[in-house]
């Protein structure tokens, strides 16, 4: 029953023809088809002002923000596994620009709206920020830049909870496993998945819906239950 804004660059108005409809419009339509209300909101999350404008649009339209889920990420163009001194700053920028910096900026942009939503005290569950992270935040996974970035996302969730908790907003990091996204399945079909993923077994992967159900379950917890988990993975 949520009103959900699917935010990203991949719009039918601009996407190249790939045979896959990996667009914000497709996501919004799926949300509506399963009982929510989906809206597509085109936004280049790598652009600071675009993030601020997207949050402002949601504020103008809804007057509140109960759930923020940060899952945007830029897939590096080169091999994921290589020594950090060979990958250099290019790998750092590839995984930690949108994947970390833009996550931080999105939380900054959304914080005031979520604080004002919490102050209404008209819902059983408090506003919640969910930062999609990875097991790479706990143990070496692909490369140094990846692990440092994911650990930073986890710390962002933890430290924000210290400042937002008293204002009624909860935070957490979420670790999906290997996910059978449409793009990953297409890479496997083309014989490119092994190289692109560093050898992960996609046959054991989760569906994208699985993480979505996890977020929905978190958002439905009582205030006491959420704040007991706030700041954690």
* Residues designated as active site: 146
| CB-based contacts of 82-87 (< 8 A; 24+ apart in sequence) | 82/143, 84/143, 84/144, 84/145, 87/143, 87/144, 87/145
Residues in the chain: 233
Contact (Cβ atoms closer than 8 angstroms) between residue 97 and residue 74:
yes
43-74 burial, b at 16+ Cβ within 10 Å, e below that, comes to bbbeeeebbbebbeebbeeeebbbbbbbbbbe
Structure tokens at 228: 């007991």
Three-class SS of residue 109? helix
| Contact of 129 with 114, CB cutoff 8 Å | yes
For residue 66, give both structure tokens: 């109960």
């Amino acid at each position: 029953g949520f009103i959900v804004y699917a935010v990203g660059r991949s719009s039918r108005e601009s996407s190249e023809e790939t045979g896959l409809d990996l667009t914000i419009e497709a996501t919004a339509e799926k949300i509506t088809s399963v009982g929510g209300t989906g809206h597509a909101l085109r936004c280049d999350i790598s652009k600071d002002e675009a993030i601020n404008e997207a949050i402002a649009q949601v504020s103008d339209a809804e007057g509140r923000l109960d759930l923020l889920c940060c899952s945007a990420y830029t897939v590096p163009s080169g091999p994921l596994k290589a020594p950090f001194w060979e990958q250099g700053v290019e790998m750092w920028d590839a995984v930690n620009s949108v994947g970390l910096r833009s996550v931080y900026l999105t939380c900054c942009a959304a914080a005031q709206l979520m604080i004002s939503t919490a102050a209404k005290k008209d819902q059983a569950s408090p506003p919640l920020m969910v930062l999609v992270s990875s097991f790479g935040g706990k143990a070496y996974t692909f490369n140094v830049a990846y692990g440092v970035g994911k650990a930073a996302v986890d710390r962002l969730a933890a430290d924000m909870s210290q400042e937002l908790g008293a204002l009624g907003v909860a935070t957490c990091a979420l670790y999906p496993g290997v996910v059978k996204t449409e793009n990953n399945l297409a890479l496997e079909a083309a014989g490119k998945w092994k190289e692109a993923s560093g050898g992960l077994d996609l046959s054991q992967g989760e569906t994208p819906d699985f993480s979505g159900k996890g977020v929905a379950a978190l958002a439905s917890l009582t205030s006491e239950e959420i704040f007991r988990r706030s700041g954690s993975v």
